[in-house]
Amino acid sequence: MDQVPGSPQEPQGASGLPGCYRHPDRETGITCTRCERPICPECMISASVGFQCPECVREGSGTGHAPAANQPRTVAAARSPRTRAWSPRSWWG
């Protein structure tokens, strides 16, 4: 469906500000940094840059990586075969 020029895309209040997508009766000038939907202070979740809506936070990490990339990883504490453990003798040869 085409928008008529000048028609609002989001519900707007008397001041011309859009209403929060979850709370249409609350006017706001803030939008989600990921989906750009208008969000009120109650819906804002602080992100590294700006604010995100609850759905975007729930859907993913916002890092641009696959969700599996955020899983903790283990690191093997392997040493090079040429590396010796530290001991007072290792200083003198």
- Give 11-68 pLDDT, tens digit per residue: 555 678 999 999 999 999 999 999 999 999 999 999 888 999 999 999 876 555 555 5
| Eight-state DSSP code of residue 39 | -
Q: Is residue 49 part of a domain?
A: yes
Q: Is residue 38 part of a domain?
A: yes
Q: Is residue 40 part of a domain?
A: yes
Domain count across the chain: 1
Domain range enclosing 53 = 31-63
C-alpha torsion angle, residues 33, 56, 17, 24 (rounded to 10)? 180
Q: Is residue 58 part of a domain?
A: yes
Whether pTM exceeds 0.75:
no
Q: Is residue 10 part of a domain?
A: no
Residues 6+ apart with CB under 8 A from 67: 60, 61
Cα separation of 11 and 21, whole Å?
8
Q: Is residue 87 part of a domain?
A: no
Cα separation of 77 and 72, whole Å?
16
